């Protein structure tokens, strides 16, 4: 996806502050953090959003969740707690049409719901 900012980050065309990378996943610090720890984890494969995940992507999504757990440990927020969220579509606040998961922590977060 030539216009996708996250695909450009994966390709190395746009700089990012990476905290994790393997052949399937890239995780980097959010440029506008909403918590002391705010990291985005994305699949390197372009998937526009959660509604576009296919049955073939199950292992990839599970892998991303495991990576997020490891990053939380590495960032020192595993025991105090953290939030993982993804926005789905424009009404949710999704700005970039590339599936991504926010890892937020480092302070007490407000309740949802």
> Locate tokens 């997020």: which residue?
68
Record the pTM: 0.94
- Sites in the chain below the pLDDT cut of 50: none
Q: Who contacts 64 (Cβ-Cβ below 8 Å, separation ≥6)?
A: 25, 41, 43, 101
Single out the catalytic residue among 46, 63, 98, 100: 100
Question: What's the rounded Cα separation, in Å, for the pair 85 and 102?
Answer: 5
| Residue 112 confidence (pLDDT) | 80
Q: How far apart are the first and last CA of the chain?
A: 35
The answer to whether residue 63 is catalytic is: no
The structural domains of the chain, ordered by start, are 5-105 (3.30.428.10)
Q: Cα–Cα distances in Å, from 96 out to 44, 49, 55, 78?
A: 14, 9, 22, 27
101 contacts 85 by C-beta, under 8 angstroms: yes
Cα-Cα-Cα-Cα dihedral sign, residues 102, 11, 53, 61: negative
Residue 43 has a CB neighbour count (10 Å cut-off) of: 21
């Amino acid at each position: 996806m030539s216009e996708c900012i996250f695909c450009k980050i994966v390709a190395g065309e746009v700089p990012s502050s990476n905290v994790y990378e393997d052949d399937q996943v890239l995780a980097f610090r959010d440029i506008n953090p909403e918590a002391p720890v705010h990291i985005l984890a994305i699949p390197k494969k372009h998937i526009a959003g959660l509604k576009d995940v296919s049955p073939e992507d199950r292992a990839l999504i599970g892998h991303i969740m495991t990576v997020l757990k490891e990053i939380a440990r590495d960032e020192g927020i595993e025991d105090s707690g953290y939030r993982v969220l993804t926005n789905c579509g424009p009404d949710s606040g999704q700005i970039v049409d590339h599936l991504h998961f926010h890892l937020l922590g480092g302070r007490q977060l407000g309740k949802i719901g």
